[in-house]
A and B are shown apart, each in its own frame.
Chain A
Amino acid sequence: MSRSFSFVSHACALVVRNPISLGSVAMISLLAILALFGPHLVPYDPNLTDLSIPFSPPTAGHWFGTDQVGRDVFSRVIVATRIDLMVAICAVALSFFAGILIGASSGYYGGSLDLWVSRATDMVQVFPLFVLAMALVAALGTDMRNIVLATAIVNLPFYVRLTRAEMIILRAQMFVEAARVAGNGDGRIMCRVLLPNALPNLMIQLSVNLGWAILNAASLSFIGLGIRPPTPEWGIMVAEGATHVVAGNWWLVIFPGLLLTLAVFSFNLLGDALRDLFDIRTR
């Protein structure tokens, strides 16, 4: 009981202390609210077309203007938050947990397990990240589940490598020997002693990864391999709007792009705060 309370109070203290953390937490909270309640808060149905007012610039009635078939851009941008964030969080969560599991075993036990795991991650990392994601989505089919899977696979090597490196450093520490003398077996040592100590660095990777995963999902949709229209999604909106920008319809690209930037930016900034949150030494 008291441990979770001190965790929360430590989190609050950290956020308040550092303006950057405060800013990023505020932005992420905003995004979370939009993702959870967005579809109920928007003034228009995101898929409602109104062919009488295509390409209308931002007005009091349509804050972000309308697109080529008269759909309200504001509503679409807000609703897209849920989809993008969900894809990113699912993909990163998947690669985080799988990567830690594989990397921890590989780093702790060493030997031939380590050898095979390292070579396997080498093979995944041979390909440029986005190219591999593209190839996987193209092969598996373009639905949300496959985008999540593809992003997760592409991200896996980072967590495997990082956890493995942390394990190799930490397993030689004296407190690990002390834990052995106190009667902890290998499994307990890995889970309760080593991983909590490796977590701070993994958290930084997590936050940067989240930003990248959002961008990845948007990029895949941009080239047509991701979420299909008419589902509102930032990447699709930018893709469709890009063809109309030359005619002067800037609002089709700027607003989804702005929110995309905001999301990636706030997750990146969260990295330091997350690491401090999990590192006891900052209390």
Chain B
Amino acid sequence: MLMKSTQRLLTVKNLAVDFDTPRGLVNAVTDVSFHVDEGEMVAVVGESGSGKSVTAYSALGLLSTGGRVVADTINYLGQDLLRAGRNLLKATRGNEISMIFQSPQTALNPIRPIGIQITDVLRAHQQLSRAEATKRAIAALEAVDIQDATRRLQSYPFEFSGGMCQRALIAMALACEPRLLLADEPTTGLDVTTQKTVMDLIATLTRSRNMSTLFITHDLGLAAQYCDRIIIMQNGRVVEEGETAKIFNDPRDNYTKRLLAATPHLHSRLVDLLPPAERRPFLAPVAATSASASSACSEREVVLKVDLLVREYGLGPARRRIFEKLWPARRVETPNTSMLRAVDGISFQIGAGECVGLVGESGCGKTTTSRLIAKLIKPTAGSIQLLGEEIGADDPRTFARSHKRKLIQMVFQDPSSSLDPQRTAFEAIADPLMRLEGVKRSTELRDRIEIICDLAGLSTDLMDRYPHQLSGGQKARVGIARAIAVKPALVVLDEPTSALDVSVQAVVLNQLSKLKRELGLSYLFVTHDLNVVRLLCDRVLVMKSGKIVEQGSTEALFGAPKHEYTRQLLAASPTIRFRSAAYSG
């Protein structure tokens, strides 16, 4: 390896970033040093609050006001970026160092066509005529595999899907052929298959142009698959750094080991996600595992039976024709062209004590299905039977006051926005108890909530806190406690851990499994993360374009997938070449 001839592009030494907040001084980043060489992909991995984004932003001088950057050196090819004037920074950004951001749809200007945004970047840095810039823009779009680039130049961001937006952003970032690309969680919010496409694209372009990439992410698995070196950050400090293989085969720091453990695709048991010291509360009693294994073969009581469920949205046929006639040139292309039939005749069953996973990509109809089953919206056709009783036809508006409401509860996707900001955790959990079981404010209520908190792994001194005073994991647990408070028969979980850090996700998933065992709950677990499904669910339903393309037991589906789409999904999940030696045994 010709290490000596590769140039050092970016050198950062002893970076410290402080923020002045009304609550005092926050040391976002302390004593961080790293470097990026030419032609390599370096990952900065950390959970929320680790300071990884702040580190990258401060290298480019992109921090918002209120941030104080102090460092020995921030050096790009010999130029000091720390004390650089505005002109130097302007010349560097876009031209030499480029950045792509986290949520592609909001990173693009919504009121300007994509082509103009790309030519803006080009003409800001290079003396190009409009025609030349347009030609370069078309070339940039074609380099990122956007079909029909000439026509796409006039499209607006809202006409692109998430993956296409991200690719357009990459085109913009690479338009001036920079030497260093900063990618801040570029695949968050994208589907698994889109994620693979985008990451493959970044990797290919990096290699082919001898560019370097600094890849910021919370997903250690993704980082391992694409990057040469990994830097692990926690609480604003660099905890460990090294080549990918070394990090996986010989992790030194405890935090690194914990992160490795919490990454779902490395393990086959749910408890393996946690460090050994914390596993005891979640280990299933031996008697119970054998009992559940035997009952798997015998008849399970059917809790939920869904038959040919259909949900249609949007324009009826007549209006659609008018729409298409009026604006023929603007036929919006969406990735899922059958969005009008969000749920297209699906049928499945959930047995008592079973955890059924519902997987699919965005636009497949799984969220609509979960809301149909939780009786938040009404189906267009089909039947939903809960414990033998037909509930499909019930009006969602009045269902809240029906006695059947307490049989189905829901855990929502984003714990931050599913808790009322003006209510304490206690009140959030007390709400279903008071409304659905008529428990009055009394010591009985308090006692019951204490029991529920204990079950959900929530300490009682958090009860009087408001959501903004709780951490992400604590909020998730409040959401779970609220759902199990009335001991429902079925809990619908709509991506409950996708907004959480991996280490928190590890605990929450174990908690959910323990609750299912102890309370005899059934779960409908909606997610896009196949690895979580593999660990938690007994059966899996794979959904695409409103239909269930395959269903079966977890082992059967993962071991021998029958449908082409299932195989695509499995192939797109990040895989790691290394065996993790984080915790032996």
Task: Report which A residues bind B (CB closer than 8 A).
Answer: 173-175, 177-186, 188, 193, 196-197, 280-281, 283
CB atoms of B435 and A182 under 8 A apart: yes
- Chain A residues with Cβ below 8 Å from B483 are 181
CB atoms of A178 and B397 under 8 A apart: no
CA gap between A173 and B412 in the complex, in Å:
11
CB atoms of B431 and A173 under 8 A apart: no
Chain B residues numbered 397-435 whose CB sits less than 8 Å from any CB in chain A: 397-398, 400-401, 405-406, 408-410, 412-414, 417-422, 431-432, 435
CA gap between A180 and B399 in the complex, in Å:
9
CA gap between A182 and B488 in the complex, in Å:
11
How many chain B residues touch A (CB < 8 A): the figure is 31
- Chain A residues with Cβ below 8 Å from B419 are 175, 178
- Chain A residues with Cβ below 8 Å from B397 are 186
- Chain A residues with Cβ below 8 Å from B436 are 182-183
Chain B residues numbered 425-471 whose CB sits less than 8 Å from any CB in chain A: 431-432, 435-436, 466, 468-469
CB < 8 Å A-B pair total: 72
Q: Which residue of B lies closest to A183 (CB)?
A: B435
- Chain A residues with Cβ below 8 Å from B413 are 174
Task: Report which B residues bind A (CB closer than 8 A).
Answer: 374, 376, 396-398, 400-401, 405-406, 408-410, 412-414, 417-422, 431-432, 435-436, 466, 468-469, 479, 482-483
- Chain B residues with Cβ below 8 Å from A175 are 417-421
CA gap between A188 and B435 in the complex, in Å:
10
CB atoms of A178 and B412 under 8 A apart: yes
Given the interface contacts A177-B412, A184-B400, A281-B466, does A197 sit within 8 Å of B421 by beta carbon? yes
CB atoms of B431 and A184 under 8 A apart: yes
CA gap between A175 and B413 in the complex, in Å:
11
CA gap between A179 and B428 in the complex, in Å:
9
- Please report whether the interface of chain B is mostly helix, strand, loop or mixed according to DSSP: mixed
CB atoms of B401 and A185 under 8 A apart: yes
**Measured between C-beta atoms, what is the minimum distance from B394 to chain A in Å?**
13
CB atoms of A177 and B435 under 8 A apart: no
- Chain A residues with Cβ below 8 Å from B421 are 175, 197, 280-281
CA gap between A280 and B469 in the complex, in Å:
10
**Measured between C-beta atoms, what is the minimum distance from B288 to chain A in Å?**
29
Q: Which residue of A lies closest to B432 (CB)?
A: A182
**Measured between C-beta atoms, what is the minimum distance from A183 to chain B in Å?**
3
Given the interface contacts A182-B436, A183-B406, A184-B435, does A193 sit within 8 Å of B420 by beta carbon? yes
Given the interface contacts A197-B420, A197-B422, does A183 sit within 8 Å of B468 by beta carbon? no
Given the interface contacts A180-B376, A183-B406, does A174 sit within 8 Å of B431 by beta carbon? no
**Measured between C-beta atoms, what is the minimum distance from B438 to chain A in Å?**
10
- Chain B residues with Cβ below 8 Å from A177 are 376, 410, 412, 418
CB atoms of A280 and B468 under 8 A apart: yes
CA gap between A183 and B420 in the complex, in Å:
15
- Chain A residues with Cβ below 8 Å from B406 are 183
CB atoms of B412 and A179 under 8 A apart: no
- Chain B residues with Cβ below 8 Å from A180 are 376, 396, 400
